[in-house]
Amino acid sequence: MEDILDVYTWEYDEKRVLVCMDEFPCQLIGETRKPIPGRPGSPECFDYEYVRNGTCSIFMFAAPLKKWRRAEVSERRTRTDWANQIKKLVDTDLHN
């Protein structure tokens, strides 16, 4: 693990850009009832019931040594979505 963490202490090299990538699904939820506002001595109350409004995928790219990051939300996560994100990274993001 220490070897991996040492990577973040390297000097920035324009020819060898360190890029981290993560992707994760996210469930979109909505409230079914309005929260009850808090009062002095009583916190705001939320109901545990929710309505599911679908899902999305979040793609996150970061180049910590370049002090750059990008996050993008997609309605779904398919091979094509992933490939388009990598294409944008290579064609656009790394050239700025």
pLDDT at 63 over 70: yes
Give how far Cα 17 sits from Cα of 25, 71, 72, 83, 84, Å.
26, 18, 20, 19, 20
Nearest Cα to Cα of residue 30 among 45, 46, 14: 46
Contacts of 76 (CB under 8 A, 6+ apart): 55, 56, 57
Residues 6+ apart with CB under 8 A from 38: 44, 45
State the Cα angle at 93 between 96 and 67, rounded to 5°.
Answer: 75
pLDDT bracket for residue 8 (50, 70, 90): confident
Q: What is the average pLDDT across 6-13?
A: 84
Where residue 5 falls among pLDDT bands split at 50, 70, 90? confident
How do residues 44-62 score in pLDDT, each as one tens digit? 988 888 899 999 999 999 9
pTM, 2 dp: 0.72
Mean pLDDT of the chain: 90
Average the pLDDT over 30-57 and give the result. Answer: 90
Q: What are the residue ranges spanned by the domains of the chain?
A: 17-37+44-95
